[in-house]
Structure 1
Amino acid sequence: MFTGIIEELGEVVSIEEIGDSSRIRLRGPVVCTGARHGDSIAVNGVCLTVVDSPAELAAGTGEFSADVMAETLHRSSLGELAPGSRVNLERAMALGARLGGHLVQGHVDATGRLLSREPGERDAAGELRWEVLRFSLPGTISRYLVEKGSITVDGVSLTVVEAAADSFTVSLIPTTLALTTLGAKAVGEGVNLEVDVLAKYVERLLESRTLPDFPNLPNLPNLPNLSNPPHPSDLSSLSTPSGLPVDGTPGESE
């Protein structure tokens, strides 16, 4: 599990094709600190496993390797990487640590494309205060997006500004532009998208929801249309379960 707060801008060192899969080697001194064989590291939002031996990691090169299966290459934008490509890196979150972004699984739901970049206001020194980016959105996941909700773009936890049927926008501050790959992302380039997993859980629960069966409950009274309430004198005509007064107050049976 990750937070979507990028720890480091890494770099692809090499890519070795192994059949339909690939072994990718990346440089990331920060995320390599204390890394062990089998650890999880998110690369552009894709959860990958460190495959280096303890001896290789102890060498202190600041590099690690991970295997990328054919399915992952097909469902993510990792297949577009090449030696020298910059990537967003984040280690798996520690239990009890601050959750600065939102819960990110590292399981890509779909890929999108950067459609446009629109600069926002500038300060007195001419520095950009923010930039609005619009990404394409596959219809298969559009229902999970809501304005002010969360989405992960290439591993970065972002807030949705506008959600349309086939696209969405996010507003990036200078820090995000400088410390992630989104600052240099060109129009037309692909990105990995992961929606908030909570939205998928809610959908699943609603799909399986059924009304409970209470066979032992008494028949309820035939209530009048509340949009046209009856006159008090008409309350005596209501049908009630046997033994219950019409006004609902306790009383003795005759």
Structure 2
Amino acid sequence: MFTGIVETTGIVAGIEQEGTNLTFRIESTMAPELKIDQSVSHNGVCLTVTSLDDKGYTVTAVDETLKKTNLGLLRTGDRVNLERCMPATGRFDGHIVQGHVDQTGICTNIEDLNGSWLFDFRYEPVPEGVDEKDRNITVEKGSICINGVSLTVFNSRDDSFRVTIIPYTYEHTSFSQLQVGDMVNLEFDVVGKYIKKMLAGYR
């Protein structure tokens, strides 16, 4: 489990295809603190460390993960947001994040407010194979995880929403490299998903 508070970023140093899977070599200052079999969030996707050294480590994304996230679009040199799993003694500075991406979205607009940035995102209301009644939703002032970053939603619509990015988040995550048209990973609020599922039985 994660909180969506990015600890640091890493650089994709290498990509190797193994059948339908992709193995990524990630170089990061976090590497010396990791261990094999540890779970790490990469742009919001929970992946397991399979090998490591002082400069970096490797993780593998299987075909199902590549189909549901933007990891398959990563290229050598790209920057990714990293977060280790939440320690039992820690504080929830963000919100409950599982590292299980629900679907992707597209950045549709970026507005520089000279001190903060507004980002607009659109997502397909109903992912392929999902019933209309089970589609993902946001709520005003609710939580959303974008590429592993915990953020507050406003301008919530059926298939779009807006977030504000403060300078610290902009500088210390991959948001500074995000452009209009880029695909992002979205994980919707797990508490909201459970409530929505329970209420569906009363319809």
Q: Does the alignment reach a TM-score above 0.5?
A: yes
For 1:223-242, what aligned pairs fall within 5 Å after superposition? none
Q: Post-superposition shift, 1:142?
A: 6.2
The residue that corresponds to 1:125 in the other structure is none
1:132-184 per-position Cα deviation (integer Å, ceiling 9, x unaligned): 10011220376530010000000000000211122110011111110111122
1:102-159 per-position Cα deviation (integer Å, ceiling 9, x unaligned): 0100000000111011122xxxxxxx21111001122037653001000000000000
- Say if 1:145 and 1:163, in contact at 8 Å, map to a contact too: yes
The residue that corresponds to 1:166 in the other structure is 159
Q: Which runs of 5+ in 2 are unaligned?
A: 127-133
The residue that corresponds to 1:49 in the other structure is 48
SS of alignment partner, residue 50 of structure 1: strand
1:86 corresponds to which letter in structure 2? R
Q: Post-superposition shift, 1:35?
A: 1.3
The residue that corresponds to 1:8 in the other structure is 8
- The TM-score, its normalising length taken from structure 1, stands at 0.74
The residue that corresponds to 2:115 in the other structure is 129
Answer with 1 or 2: which has the greater Rg. Answer: 1
Q: Which has the higher contact order (CA 8 A, sep 6+)?
A: 2
> Matched residues in 1 for 2:135 and 2:121: separation?
12
For 1:22-171, what aligned pairs fall within 5 Å after superposition? 22-30=22-30, 32-52=31-51, 57=52, 59-60=53-54, 62-120=55-113, 128-140=114-126, 143-171=136-164
For 1:240-251, what aligned pairs fall within 5 Å after superposition? none
SS of alignment partner, residue 164 of structure 1: coil
SS of alignment partner, residue 161 of structure 1: coil
- Say if 2:4 and 2:149, in contact at 8 Å, map to a contact too: yes
More strand as a share of residues? 2
> Matched residues in 1 for 2:159 and 2:197: separation?
22
> Matched residues in 1 for 2:11 and 2:191: separation?
31
SS of alignment partner, residue 11 of structure 1: strand
2:166 corresponds to which letter in structure 1? I
- Say if 1:142 and 1:166, in contact at 8 Å, map to a contact too: no
Q: Which runs of 5+ in 1 are unaligned?
A: 121-127, 211-254
- Say if 1:5 and 1:101, in contact at 8 Å, map to a contact too: yes
Identity of aligned pairs, percent?
40
- The TM-score, its normalising length taken from structure 2, stands at 0.92
Moved more, 102-111 or 137-146: 137-146
- Say if 2:17 and 2:23, in contact at 8 Å, map to a contact too: yes
2:148 corresponds to which letter in structure 1? G
> Matched residues in 1 for 2:159 and 2:88: separation?
36
